[in-house]
Amino acid sequence: MSETLASRILSRRDLDFLLYEWLDASALSKRARFADHNRETFDAVLDLCEQLATEEFAPHNKKADQHEPHFDGESVTMIPEVGKALKKFCDAGLIAAGHDYAMGGMQLPCLIEKAGFAWFKGANVGTSAYPFLTIGNANTLLKCGSPEQIEQFVKPMLSGRFFGTMCLSEPQAGSSLSDISTRADLQPDGSYRLRGNKMWISGGEHDLSENIIHLVLAKVPGPDGKLIAGVKGISLFIVPKRLVNTDGSLGERNDVVLAGLNHKMGYRGTTNCLLNFGEGKFQPEGKPGAIGYLVGTLHQGLAGMFHMMNEARIGVGLGAVMLGYTGYLHALDYARNRPQGRHPSSKDPVQPQIPIVAHTDVKRMLLAQKAYVEGGLALTLYCARLVDEEKTAEDASAREAATLLLDILTPIAKSWPSQWCLEANSLAIQVHGGYGYTREYDVEQFYRDNRLNPIHEGTHGIQGLDLLGRKVTMRNGAALALLSAKVQATISKTTNTHLSGLGAALSQRWQRLLEVTSLLHAAGDLNKTLANASLYLEAFGHLVLSWIWLEQALAALPMSVGDADFYAGKQQACRWFFRWELPKVDAQLDLLATLDTTTLDMQDNWF
């Protein structure tokens, strides 16, 4: 029987392989921004993250699920372990890990920062949501805010004093942001007063920090007093829970109140809120209306918020990966230690039962999980590496290329793990058998937690429309052409290796993808072009993950003499993906090529 797993959150051996043997994280130390770092400092951060995640976050994951935040009409209460864990996280300086020294940060590469944060996502996705949102909020204001706003709001967030949120959706609008109706009226002092409602606001109310900084999308009325229709009227505002004085001290309570908590099937440790802005319960400076401050340029709010949305989309993908990953490791550990049955060719009841990991069908389920979660982690870390290229590559063309690749890969990085690492969680339950369906085992919670990820930060449908409707055609197809060149470069490396057949299989299907993409955009009818965008997203994602797995298999080739089991596992997972998953793309691309209108033509009353 195999030895006990070192961790059931994440495989450090896999993480080291991805960071150092594939993505060459050590090379980043040669850049001026990261010159104070090397593998030793990177590993120290990863060690710290693993320790804090294991000792402070994981132990209360189940308790936070069973005792979710409660709203009594006045305040929210939650288990004390959440606040204690977050204090340890903030005291370790991890919120500011990727930021400038001048901002109290460590100037870590994004690649290492996200690899470290993966531990927290896998240990306790509910508690980790608070710093996750705060980091995204701070990053957005660093890009779009004024120096005064950075001083007043960002620095306290990076120190852990304030936490942050993003407020987009509204009850009547959902994902259709052009239909939001939260109103922002200009005041004589240059501030704004906001009135409206925001729904699905994660981390929208709590007492875990001194203050909560809401980034809010709202519309400033035109000269006629009416809100401007569509996304062109949207602006971005900072709306703090408590006003902040010029000296940094906290002022009076702003007119933002919690109307109620949403009770989700998973992610229960994160408060998810309906917030009312400007209802008049609090009257800052003597009158109703939530005081807000314009971020960036008037009517350019959606562009500003997209900084946070795109970062959050890749973060959601990482969270989906890690829920699938910890589920896989729990299933693997269970399968190695659960004796049951015998091989079909050896039915002697006198012989002892074998661990279920020896059964072929269990190996099938574990191998599928391994391929999904290790592939998904590789993809999201590749995107983090692109962020480092975008920010620090010495050559301008390299920085531009990284931006293009990030643009086209973001819908995949968000949606593919949300679909297939959720499937990994389903398989983890199946490996556990009847036990997997009980609350006494962790895997049922992982599934419930992960089921949110295909929905928030843009559903599969929205990501499909973005990919097919915009990303593959942007700048005359420049991003798709660049990604294609990357894929072909990988395929060319398989020549004269045992991976050449896999390279040929990917090459053939990638060319088919390009042909089908052209066919869809030649339809002459945008409704027909985009009718099956989600199917296109799924096919595109599987091709991208085939490329990612081929990259991993190539990275595992030179080191196959040492640590043989690990590298053999990488090769076998790649083989499985190409044999079991890649062929699914054929039928999908064939259907897309017909410009099928079955779903488009369906009528409401036919249901």
User: How far apart (Å, rounded) are the C-alpha atoms in residues 62 and 230?
Assistant: 42
| Tokens matching residue 606 | 């036919």
Q: Is 285 a catalytic residue?
A: no
| Tokens matching residue 134 | 């705060």
User: How far apart (Å, rounded) are the C-alpha atoms in residues 7 and 333?
Assistant: 10
Q: Which residues contact 347 (CB under 8 A, 6 or more apart)?
A: none
Q: Helix 396-432 vs helix 301-337: angle between axes, to the nearest 10 degrees?
A: 40
- Taking CA atoms, 517 is separated from 343, 464, 528, in Å, by 47, 13, 13
Name the residue type at position 304.
G
Q: Quick check: 453 and 525 in contact, CB under 8 A?
A: no
User: How far apart (Å, rounded) are the C-alpha atoms in residues 26 and 386?
Assistant: 15
User: How far apart (Å, rounded) are the C-alpha atoms in residues 370 and 315?
Assistant: 20
Annotate 508-574 with three-state secondary structure: HHHHHHHHHHHHHHCCCCHHHHHCCHHHHHHHHHHHHHHHHHHHHHHHHCCCCCCCHHHHHHHHHHH
67 φψ region: left (φ > 0), alpha (ψ -120 to 50), beta (else): beta
Residue 567's φ and ψ, nearest 5 degrees, are: -70, -35
SS3 320: helix
Residue 194's φ and ψ, nearest 5 degrees, are: -105, 140
Q: Quick check: 164 and 137 in contact, CB under 8 A?
A: yes
Scanning the structure block, which residue is given the tokens 């983890």?
Answer: 428
SS3 213: strand
Q: How far is CA 104 from the centre of its chain?
A: 25
Segment holding 241, helix H or strand E: none
Name the residue type at position 101.
Y
SS3 194: strand
User: How far apart (Å, rounded) are the C-alpha atoms in residues 118 and 450?
Assistant: 14
Q: Quick check: 83 and 208 in contact, CB under 8 A?
A: yes
DSSP annotation of 55 reads: I
Which of 457, 538, 551, 581 is catalytic? The answer is 457
Catalytic residues: 457
